[in-house]
Each structure stands twice: as C-alpha cells, then as structure tokens.
A and B are shown apart, each in its own frame.
Chain A
Amino acid sequence: EIVLTQSPATLSLSPGERATLSCRASQSVNGYLAWYQQKPGQAPRLLMYDASNRAPGIPARFSGSGSGTDFTLTISSLEPEDFAVYYCQQRSNWFTFGQGTKLEIK
C-alpha cells in the first residue's frame, strides 16, 4: 500500500498570506496525485488532479506541483473560505489518502 504523509499537520496563517502544503508518498505515484478540501460536516471537494491540473470551478489561487514522491499544494493568497482540512490522494496503486493538513486562521 502506498502511504501518503502530509505536513504540517496544522498550519496557522492569516487571510492574504501564502499557504504551502506538502504530501510525500512512500513510493512514486507517477504524478497521479489529487488534492481535496474538506469543511466540517461536508464531503471532500476536488481541487487538483494529476498533481497540477485544477478541477473545474477551482480558483486560480490554488496551484499544485510535484512529481515522483513529493507534491505541493499552494494557495497564493488565502481567502476566509480557504480555512479547512486538505487531503492528498494517489491513484497509482489502488486509492489512498493522506491524513490531512488542517489550515486554521492565525
């Protein structure tokens, strides 16, 4: 099983700041990595797929990068609605998710 490790567990930032979230895979996932946002009481929402492709309707302040085992989700300038939990997920070998990064207001 491919294990995804996200860091940091919690990220405290202010609106307008830049957020950088990391996801490391236990083996190469060939770029087949997605990012999701989840707010309390809601299902996850797809943000990015295949590392750097924004899903339809996702604002341009969200971007993704990486390859092999190391991936990054960047939010260029945080809006109040961006504070949530973010998960990475790979589809290279079955489907597994990271444990999440909580982005909280500082």
Chain B
Amino acid sequence: QVQLQQSGPRLVKPSQTLSLTCAISGDTVSSNIAAWHWIRQSPSRGLECLGRTYYRSKWYSDYAASVKSRITINADTSKNQFSLQLNAVTPEDTAVYYCARLYCDRISCYAFDIWGRGTFVAVSS
C-alpha cells in the first residue's frame, strides 16, 4: 500500500521560502513508472499542479509556468522522499499543498492515484 507523508512548516513569512517534504512508503522515488508532483489548492486558484520530479534513466523536473522562476522540486533517494521549495512567497501562495503520485506505465502516464493528506501553509507576517 503506497502512502505519502507530508511534513514542513505551516506558517511562512512573506518573501521567505516555503519548504515541504513528502516521504514515500510502498514505492520508490526513483521508480520508472511514476512521477512525483506537488499540487496546491486555494479558494482563489482552485487545484493547481506546481511541478514534478521523475526518474527515467536520469532525473527530470518540470514546473508550471506560473511558478517556474520560484520553484525547485528535488528527490532524495537515500530517504525515499521528494521536496518542494517555493521562493519569495506572498500571501497569494497561501494554500493547502499536496504531494501526489502520477501513475505511469511503460507507455504513458495517467492520473494522480495516490495523494498525501495535505498541508495548509499560510503566508503571513
């Protein structure tokens, strides 16, 4: 049974960096048939996919255009986890942040089948 356990601060000051970690159990972050995403949800922006990391003989990371200049998603194979860093946050970055697995096979990737429980992060001074 695959599970994702999120951790990280729930309050971040404006202009600082939001950092979250997602620990994976029951699967491996370097799996060739998965991608590991960060998705956030807020009343104003709805559900928004921020970016992902995945391994296909080497590591890749892709980011949404809306946050591309401020985001880094990395994998840590020694701890079987992946992380989100979002720089220069503003109150508009206040949201529930989810990590999620994009299920893939050798042909394609399909949908987000496993989700973390979500972390509400408030950006406020």
Q: Bound complex: CA of A89 vs CA of B110, how far in Å?
A: 11
* Tally of contact residues, B, Cβ under 8 A: 19
Instruction: Count A-B pairs with CB separation below 8 Å.
Output: 46
Select from chain A the residue with minimum beta-carbon distance to B62. Answer: A94
List residues of chain B with CB within 8 A of the CB of A70. none
Q: Which of B14-22, B45-53, B74-82, B86-94 contacts A (4 or more CB under 8 A)?
A: B45-53
Is there contact, CB below 8 Å, between B113 and A55? Answer: yes
Q: CB-CB contacts of A80-103 with B at 8 A, as 1s and 0s? A: 000000010101001111111000
Is there contact, CB below 8 Å, between B49 and A95? Answer: yes
Within 8 A of B (CB), among A51-106: 55, 87, 89, 91, 94-100
Shortest Cβ gap from A83 to chain B (Å): 19
Select from chain A the residue with minimum beta-carbon distance to B64. Answer: A94
The 8 Å CB contact of B111, one of A89, A94, A100, is: A89
Select from chain A the residue with minimum beta-carbon distance to B37. Answer: A95
Residue A29 at the chain B interface, CB threshold 8 Å: no
Q: Bound complex: CA of A17 vs CA of B40, how far in Å?
A: 33
Seen from chain B, the residues whose Cβ lies within 8 Å of a Cβ on chain A are 37, 46-49, 64-65, 98, 100, 103, 109-113, 115-118
Seen from chain A, the residues whose Cβ lies within 8 Å of a Cβ on chain B are 1, 34, 36, 42-46, 49-50, 55, 87, 89, 91, 94-100
